Amino acid sequence: MNDLILGGKIFGIGLQRTGTTSLFQALTVLGFHPAPHGIPLFYDIHHPILTKHDAFMDNPIPLIYRELDQKCPGSRFVMTTRPLESWLESVEWLFLRKLPKMSRDLRQVGDEIHTHFYDTSIYNRDLFAAKYVAYHQGVFDYFRMRQEDLLVVDFTKGGGWSEFCPFLGKPVPDVSFPHANPSIARN
């Protein structure tokens, strides 16, 4: 398995709280088989989960998209995004309200992934803002010569089937685009 080259995958490389659940649901509607999470790939880029699904998004995919690109040539990359201020507000809610309620095991994995990306597992507005900006610039730099392999979509601005389907070579389905978690949960 380690030497197997895989292609034709879809990788959602948007940061958490940027519409990754909407992306998962949209890919499902289009007939893809997205993984419910890609956590095993954080620990082993050769994990068999890579052969069982054709799409991956959310943490840890933004951390390892370059390695996945090398392993899976011909893949497509969707970077979900949203305005920085609303992202910071949503991530603050995630770190301060939701993550503390998660099971110890999930929290431990989340802390590892967050520490790897943000250099901390504790919410820090200024640090997170800088990481957001740097990450986006890094993605744009990486795909500068391959813009046809990257779709940047902001679901908060109404992004949906019209840009999504042509990018993936799929017809527009006769259903509304799934906009999951349209606002921050307050409970």
Which pLDDT band holds residue 160 (cuts at 50, 70, 90)? confident
| Distance of alpha carbon 63 from alpha carbon 65, whole angstroms | 6
Which tens digit of pLDDT belongs to each residue from 24-66? 999 999 999 999 999 999 999 999 999 999 999 999 999 999 9
Q: What is the DSSP letter of 177?
A: -
| Per-residue model confidence as pLDDT tens digits over 96-121 | 998 888 889 988 999 999 999 999 99
- Assess whether pLDDT exceeds 90 at residue 93: yes
Tokens, residue 32: 């893809």
Tokens for 155, please give them: 């679901």
Other Cβ atoms closer than 10 A to 180: 13
pLDDT value at residue 100: 87
Helices (H), 58-181: 61-71, 84-93, 104-118, 125-142, 161-168
pTM to 2 decimal places: 0.91
> Taking the CB of residue 39, how many other CB atoms lie within 10 A of it?
19
Q: Among 6-10, 12-16, 97-101, 126-130, name the one with the lowest average pLDDT.
A: 6-10
Question: What letter would DSSP give residue 73?
Answer: T
CA 56: distance to chain centroid? 7
CB-based contacts of 3: which residues, under 8 Å, 6+ apart?
none
Share of the chain above pLDDT 70, in %: 93
Domains of the chain: 10-83+132-168 (3.40.50.300)
CA 120 to chain centre: 19
pLDDT band of residue 1 (cuts 50, 70, 90) is very low
67-85 pLDDT per residue, tens? 999 999 999 999 999 999 9
Alpha-carbon distance of 152 to 76, in angstroms, equals: 11
